[in-house]
């Protein structure tokens, strides 16, 4: 039986986290990893105890939903809340990070970003990542579990 690569494993975790999203515009998940160990996860949604977009709709300001906290920010804030060091960590995200999340990733000291899907990849985010020497790599996501089950059934 073929094992998932570490990249596939952590990306699958990000997609699982995304299933908790309460955003009606885009479903995103993020997993922060240090030394091959998951230290935090996040998905895009409202603040704890706040109204959700799925219940009350998006609260749009200048073309962005102000109700939603991005998955990357939620994962980084989870590290802050529970005292997990992000310096030198890696983040796996279902979609390419926006400029604001890019800045937070850099400030958190995260050294590598792995994403599954392109989404409004802003050139300034790319420029910031390059200037900060943050490695950015696309890791396309397939439902690896379903693929493994299908392979087993063929045998």
Kindly list the catalytic residues: 72
Structure tokens of 60? 């749009």
In angstroms, the CA 155 to CA 151 distance is 7
Query: Are 103 and 128 within 8 A, CB to CB?
Result: yes
Name 96's Cβ contacts closer than 8 Å, sequence gap at least 6.
115, 117, 118, 119, 120, 121, 125
């Amino acid at each position: 039986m073929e094992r998932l690569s570490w990249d596939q494993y952590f990306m699958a975790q990000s997609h699982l986290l995304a299933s908790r999203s309460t955003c009606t515009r885009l479903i995103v998940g993020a997993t922060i990893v240090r030394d091959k160990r998951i230290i935090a996860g996040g998905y895009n949604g409202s603040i704890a105890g706040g109204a959700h977009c799925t219940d009350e709709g998006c609260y749009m300001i200048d073309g962005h939903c102000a109700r939603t906290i991005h998955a990357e920010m939620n994962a980084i804030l989870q590290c802050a809340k529970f005292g997990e060091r992000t310096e030198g960590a890696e983040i796996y995200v279902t979609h390419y990070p926006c400029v604001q999340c890019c800045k937070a990733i850099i400030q958190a000291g995260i050294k590598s970003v792995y994403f599954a899907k392109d989404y409004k990849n802003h050139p300034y985010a790319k420029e910031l990542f390059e200037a900060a020497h943050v490695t950015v790599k696309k890791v396309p996501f397939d439902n690896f579990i379903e693929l493994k089950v299908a392979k087993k059934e063929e045998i």
